[in-house]
A and B are shown apart, each in its own frame.
Chain A
Amino acid sequence: MAAHLKKRVYEEFSKVVQQQEELTTKKLRLTKPSKSAALHIDLCKATSPADALQYLLQFARKPVEAESVEGVARILLEHYYKENDASVRLKIASLLGLLSKTSGFSPDCIMDDAINILQNENDREHLTDTSHGVRNKCLQLLGNLGSLEKSVTKDAEGLAVRDVQKIIGDYFSDQDPRVRTAAIKAMLQLHERGLKLHQTIYNQACKLLSDDYEQVRSAAVQLIWVVSQLYPESIVPIPSSNEEIRLVDDAFGKICHMVSDGSWMVRVQAAKLLGSMEQVSSHFLEQTLDKKLMSDLRRKRTAHERAKELYSSGEFSSGRKWGDDAPKEEVDTGAVNLIESGACGAFVHGLEDEMYEVRIAAVEALCMLARSSPAFAEKCLDFLVDMFNDEIEEVRLQSIHTMRKISNNITLREDQLDTVLGVLEDSSRDIREALHELLCCTNVSTKEGIHLALVELLKNLAKYPTDRDSIWKCLKFLGSRHPTLVLPLVPELLSTHPFFDTAEPDMDDPAYIAVLVLIFNAAKTCPTMPALFSDHTFRHYAYLRDSLSHLVPALRLPGRKLVSSVPSIMLHEDPSQQFLQQSLERVCGLQHLDPQGTQELLELTIRDLQRLGELQSELAGVADFSATYLQCQLLLIKALQEKLWNVAAPLYLKQSDLASAAAKQIMEETYKMEFMYSGVEHKQVVIVHHMRLQAKALHLIVTARTTRGVDSLFGMCEKFLQEVDFFQRCFIADLPHLQDSFVDKLLDLMPRLMTSKPSEVVKILQTMLRQSTFLHLPLPEQIHKASATIIEPAGESDNPLRFTSGLVVALDVDATLEHVQDPQSTVKVQVLYPDGQAQIIHPKPADFRNPGPGRHRLITQVYLSHTAWTEPCQVEVRLLLAYNTTARIPKSPWVEGGELSSQVETSIEGTIPFSKPVKVYILPKPARR
């Protein structure tokens, strides 16, 4: 009866709530209590465990607001206490765990209850539940709640502290592997939540390393790693001897051992974790690369050692003989340890592993360790170089990147360089480009090395002419890093002769340019070098300095006037920066000028900025951004300044066309400003939105003047006012900065506008637009314009791509993207057919690679299809940047991969083309019967 009454109460309550909902749609807060109430009703109604389970499941699908979590948790706890069925308890426990993770909810308030009910009495019991599922969830819950429990039990009950870690630790030896895994995971959870784990766990975890189940071993490896990071310096004894070592070293050895585990998941895990153990002593670290070779019990040297020896004895690249690797001294049989005492050869095994996932993990780990230890970097070089020959491209690429990252710490030996350069002939462009980047920052020890590198790069250039830019860039750095090594090579490279004049090489030959790039960059810091140049070299220098200024530095050449003096070189960056500033300041005080002067000044400034952007790549982003903004401003002024506004509309049809076109263009430009530049800050976004609002107002005015009938106008006015409202809500904090602007004035008149007729609104807007002042655009720190270049298809082919109509043909698209944020979701490919049909293709996330910061590479396939044509025709392929103005709804942890997120992903509001279109010649043929 009581339950029934309660139900009634809640029912009535929820009815009221609904009414409120209808009345005030904006004030959502009032509806919140309904959530917990509804749940309570459901649970009370539930007659069988199955029903209750259903309700709980339904409940779990909906998100819970932070404010109502407390109520929900209380209700859940109550039911947990009453419930007899294990599955329902299981669900409640897991729900509680999830709830406690809800952001913005402090678990303190329900903690007392939770502890009383779960920890002290029931949980104890349920941890011993027969179903592994219940035990699993309870351990998870413990992991989530653990630390608080500890303090509260102390206070509340005064009992001996029942340590949550100990409770969890007991389940490390549970009979069910799933529970063991859950126990370790709960422990890790505790650690993540900031609880300091006891060192005693270390020994328990070590035992779990030899568990029969891979999930357990994998989790145990993690746990050991965590403990080793917590107590790196404490001392642990080595079993079966009296020695003691640091815990981190011991853990390192144990994890190394797991690199040769039977399960590859564990191996990946172990290899990954090794990389982050930087406190390990160098002695152990170096062991990982050492695998004591022997043959017939005699010590053998590794190929690496032999190569080093050959090199140091000056016998490089001698032919190999049979028995060259003949074993040397005898090995003491007692001293050989076949089971790695820890670290021995862990990386040797990891890099040789069957699964490429393990190999990649091992390479990554090598990279991280080598960055923290130069000595280790030197040692692991040989192994990394070996990985350049891996059968899987990903692994090769990864090892090249790794090498680049550690290249500050190392100098390549000539034989190593030889192997590295061998990879230049790889047919994969990714690999070659990665290698060029590596060579950019490599230290070479000898002039032969430089020569070898140059020769190989030229070979590469001859084989793959498309690599031109990348190779030139590579040689630029190679030259500027090694001026002294290049110096003795100059006569040979330029093929000058002391007595004879040699033929002048072809200036357009990419190979010759490559050589010159190397030499000029070396000459920058080597003043004696220009003396070796012949006349035509100087001429070529002048030419290249102009045409390839980003590759050829300014040189101080003797007796040459065209070369600017040193101070000007040093200050080279500044004038353009200054120029930019001056240009922008010029337009700053604009409003005081007459319209004619304003226009001219704006045009001038825009032109200046655009030129500056072309000349100075570093400033291109800022210049373009400002230019675009000024362009918008200019368009607006132009559209408004005409006297036409005083005359009746029908007479000035042409003018209104112009104005509406301007409005449209401003809209487009503002979208570009908002979404095409990376590094745009909030204050710029406000200004951009403001400009857009002005454009919308302009659009409204123009339409109002050209259309008849009040109905449509009414709707438009309504919409515009909503936009203004939206603007106000979004940027309320920034309004003080917008003094005297359009929106500032608009908001003052807002109450009047709300009640006025459309025609009046238009009039007010018109005057306000004309009176509003020019807002100065503050420049962001770093701003880059997103750009894209389609490398493939090149659009040069005259042979049409033939395919049968109705079927598809795959077109390979290869493009580089610069400064695009999150390209996976924004970049699309558009195909335009001659009949005007347009098709937008969403590339797969895996098609994007990230070769460097701010750069992306899109390599994908686009499927074309069409009905039969009689003649080949060109389709246009271009890249689009999709944008979405509505800010993303932050996901709550409560909704685990819910349906909400997918909707957000797919909504695209508009697109901006940001690459030059490429034409592809295709011919769909009619199908033969």
Chain B
Amino acid sequence: MPEIRVTPLGAGQDVGRSCILVSIAGKNVMLDCGMHMGFNDDRRFPDFSYITQNGRLTDFLDCVIISHFHLDHCGALPYFSEMVGYDGPIYMTPPTQAICPILLEDYRKIAVDKKGEANFFTSQMIKDCMKKVVAVHLHQTVQVDDELEIKAYYAGHVLGAAMFQIKVGSESVVYTGDYNMTPDRHLGAAWIDRCRPNLLITESTYATTIRDSKRCRERDFLKKVHETVERGGKVLIPVFALGRAQELCILLETFWERMNLKAPIYFSTGLTEKANHYYKLFITWTNQKIRKTFVQRNMFEFKHIKAFDRAFADNPGPMVVFATPGMLHAGQSLQIFRKWAGYEKNMVIMPGYCVQGTVGHKILSGQRKLEMEGRQLEVKMQVEYMSFSAHADAKGIMQLIGQAEPEHVLLVHGEAKKMEFLKQKIEQEFRVSCYMPANGETVTLPTSPSIPVGISLGLLKRETAQGLLPDAKKPRLLQGTLIMKDSNFRLVSSEQALKELGLAEHQLRFTCRVHLHDARKEQETVMRVYNHLKSILKDRCVQHLPDGSVTVESILIQAAAHSEDPGTKVLLVSWTYQDEELGSYLTSLLKKGLPQAPS
């Protein structure tokens, strides 16, 4: 029995460390290879020993697919390919391929240089790993080998995020990675055609949330910033370097443009500059507005946003500053925060979630006095929270399922409790089975792959010439010969099959005797049979031949007197194998006897 097996090594009923193994028609594919933010020990990477204890992974995996550049989707890649050992192809989209190494390098630096970890992958390993990457463009079908093919769809979420269809023969699996069904200021919405995969593996971060319109949030955000700037205050927006930062930049940039504002906007340098560079390059991956504006100018060539210098923080007058990191736990954003916190006019806007223990979390929960480097810091500036998240909400997930029409759904990348709800909903609304395996748990789905059979043109034409077009509602009988040769199926007409196989045709004839009680002469009996058949089979060609026999198309009927009983006539009905249907119908008809002659 053919089947699809799915085993999450990470992201099974969990967020982080996405890594899912899929076996489909004998091919093994690994989807994503992420790290877990919450752990610092071995648990931060997926357990690759599950795949094989010894020996190289290359022998067991046909390919690896990375959906987007977030570290929880690609963070373990150098470890996996260089330290564990994998030499096969790694597929990702061009933006992911460009941005991924920057993030990996950054991640490595923090882990090794700051935390002093040993036995971590090196810069060289990142480079070597990236050499194994093959770029996949949107809607491009890549033939991994003779049977396995993959195709990328747009997923929104971050620049270059993609959903992947993995297809072997007629069996297919779609993996969504992270996606967003509502467009934002710089990216479009995820889209997939009605590909009807056997299995859809979808993220479910917001399985139990239905979100409000994005416009309100944007409007609030802009209004807050505008008001502060107008009254001469400074706005600090702590961000992570990639993703949301660009969205907010575009948002502010266009707003500044529209409203003709003059206050400077700064973006803290470093990582982000490189990242912005890639955003400029990959315009085709952004939304309609940016793509259309590109004819005039690249919207990522910011007019109002300039690079930040440490000295600018002390400049008088209003300004807006984007600074990393996003949770105010260290670095530049914290420095600026310390400088500005004491003035009521200023404002800090936290655009994302903050982990407990960080300064960000403290001020968001309303703490106004902070202890910092042994000194008291009173926070007088305004503190605002705005959530700009780029995952599909429950409705979005349902919408995607509706678009793709899969046979089964499998949930990953979410919390178990929330998945439970969504699972129930999916089963209820779409009537498809839904799974939510935990890490290490395997789901097996039986499939019934269809087997394509090639039909010869001659046969097909002959069939269509005979009758109407194929109709979905009525099955039709078609006669031919199935030739199976080297896992290749062909349906040809029997003549052609005979010719190809070099066989002589055997005539197969059925002959049947039907006894009729009829005292009259043979000729009269034949006449009666002829009239009877003629009256019943109106649309067939019934003929009375001069030699005393009756033909119904190619079926021959002859009458003879019974050798013993002259009152009984024997009708000899003879037909070839091809006319079996009509022949058997005729005999049954004749067996019922002839109608009483009007005497």
Q: Which residue on B lies nearest to A261, using beta carbons?
A: B403
Name which of A157-165, A318-326, A373-381 contacts chain B: A318-326
Report Cα–Cα, A352/B174, bound state, in Å: 26
B545 at the interface (CB under 8 A from A): no
> Lowest 6 CB-CB distances: which A-B pairs, in order?
A303-B216, A354-B183, A386-B215, A322-B385, A322-B364, A425-B259
Q: How far is the CA of A516 from the CA of B59 in the complex (A)?
A: 85
Chain A residues with CB below 8 A from B185, complex form: 391
Binding stretch for chain A, among B62-70, B134-142, B463-471? B463-471
Shortest distance from the beta carbon of B165 to any chain A beta carbon, whole Å: 15
Partner of A303, one of B208, B217, B384, B403: B217
Residue numbers of A with Cβ under 8 A of B are: 128, 130, 173, 175, 212, 260, 262, 291-297, 300, 302-304, 319-323, 333, 336, 338-340, 345, 348, 351-356, 383, 386-387, 389-392, 419, 422, 425-428, 463
> Given A175-B469, A354-B183, A427-B260, is A260 in contact with B188 using a C-beta cutoff of 8 Å?
no
Chain A to chain B contacts (Cβ below 8 Å), 26 pairs? A175-B469, A175-B470, A175-B472, A262-B403, A293-B210, A294-B210, A300-B210, A303-B216, A303-B217, A320-B220, A320-B384, A320-B385, A321-B366, A323-B385, A338-B425, A352-B214, A352-B215, A353-B189, A354-B287, A354-B288, A386-B215, A386-B219, A391-B254, A422-B226, A426-B259, A427-B258
Select from chain B the residue with minimum beta-carbon distance to A392: B289
Tell me the smallest distance from the CB of B313 to a CB of chain A, in Å: 24
B194: which A residues are within 8 A, CB to CB?
212, 262
Q: Which of B35-43, B73-81, B328-336, B392-400 contacts A (4 or more CB under 8 A)?
A: B392-400
Determine if A419 and B219 form an interchain contact, defined as CB atoms under 8 angstroms apart: yes
A319 adjacent to B382 (CB under 8 Å)? yes
Q: How far is the CA of A688 from the CA of B538 in the complex (A)?
A: 81
User: Once the chains bind, are B469 and A130 in contact (CB under 8 Å)?
Assistant: yes
Chain A residues with CB below 8 A from B378, complex form? none
Besides A130-B469, A303-B217, 12 new A-B residue pairs in contact (Cβ under 8 A), listed by A number: A293-B211, A297-B421, A303-B216, A304-B216, A319-B384, A338-B425, A356-B289, A383-B213, A386-B219, A389-B219, A392-B289, A463-B260
Residues of B in contact (CB 8 Å), total 58
> B532: CB under 8 A from chain A?
no
Contact A260–B385 (Cβ < 8 Å): no
CB-CB < 8 A to B216: which residues of A?
302-304, 386
Chain B residues, Cβ within 8 Å of A427: 257-260
Across the interface, which residues of B come within 8 angstroms of A175, CB to CB?
469-470, 472
What is the minimal beta-carbon distance from B262 to any residue of chain A, in angstroms? Answer: 11
Q: Nearest-CB distance from A418 to chain B (Å)?
A: 8
Which residues on A sit within 8 Å (CB–CB) of B222?
389
| Nearest chain A residue, comparing its CB with the CB of B255 | A389
A212 to B424, CA, bound (A): 27
Q: How far is the CA of A292 from the CA of B382 in the complex (A)?
A: 31
| A128-B425 in contact (CB<8A) | no
Distance, CA A173 to CA B223, complexed state (A): 53
- Nearest-CB distance from B427 to chain A (Å)? 12
| Bound: A640/B52 CA distance, A | 113
Please, how many angstroms separate the alpha-carbon atoms of A419 and B224 in the complex? 12
With most chain B CB atoms within 10 A of its CB, the pick from A173, A304, A320, A390 is A320
Contact: B470 with A352, CB < 8 Å? no
CA distance A428 to B212 in the complex (A): 29
Residues of A within 8 A of B394 (CB): 294, 338
Inter-chain contacts of B260 with A (CB < 8 A): 425, 427, 463
Docked complex Cα distance between A292 and B210 (Å): 7
Check if B217 sits within 8 Å of A295, measured CB to CB.
no
B-side contacts of A295, CB under 8 Å: 208-209
Which of A322, A386, A427 has the most chain B CB atoms closer than 10 A to its own CB? A322
Query: Do A322 and B211 have beta carbons less than 8 Å apart?
Result: no
Mark each residue of chain B from 383 to 408: 1 if its CB lies under 8 Å from any CB of chain A, else 0.
11100000000110011001100000
Across the interface, do A352 and B421 meet the contact criterion of CB distance under 8 Å? Answer: no
Alpha-carbon distance between A887 and B213 when the two chains are bound, in angstroms: 54
- Please tell me if the beta carbons of A422 and B208 are within 8 angstroms of each other in the complex: no
User: Which chain A residues lie closer than 8 Å to B183 at the CB level?
Assistant: 352-354
Q: Whole-angstrom distance between the alpha carbons of A353 and B260 in the complex?
A: 27
**Given A294-B209, A338-B429; A387-B469 close (CB under 8 Å):** no
B534-562 near A? 1/0 per residue, CB < 8 Å? 00000000000000000000000000000
| B468–A128 touching, CB < 8 Å | yes
Asked if B289 contacts A391 (CB within 8 A), the reply is yes
Question: Any chain A CB within 8 A of the CB of B314?
Answer: no
Task: Give min CB distance, B207 to chain A, whole Å.
Answer: 9
Query: Is B191 close to A, CB under 8 A?
Result: yes
Shortest B384–chain A CB gap in Å is: 6
| Proximity string of chain B (250-288) to chain A, C-beta cutoff 8 Å, 1 when within and 0 when not | 000010011110000000000000000000000000011
Q: Are B399 and A302 in touch, CB under 8 angstroms?
A: no
Question: Is the CB of B87 closer than 8 A to any CB of chain A?
Answer: no
Cross-chain contact A354 with B219 (CB below 8 angstroms): no
Question: B220 near A356 (CB under 8 angstroms)?
Answer: no
Given A320-B384, A339-B402, A355-B288, decide whether A422 and B212 contact each other with a Cβ distance below 8 A.
no
Q: Are A426 and B213 in contact (CB under 8 A)?
A: no
Q: Give the interface centre of A128, A389, A419, A463 by most chain B CB atoms within 10 Å.
A: A389
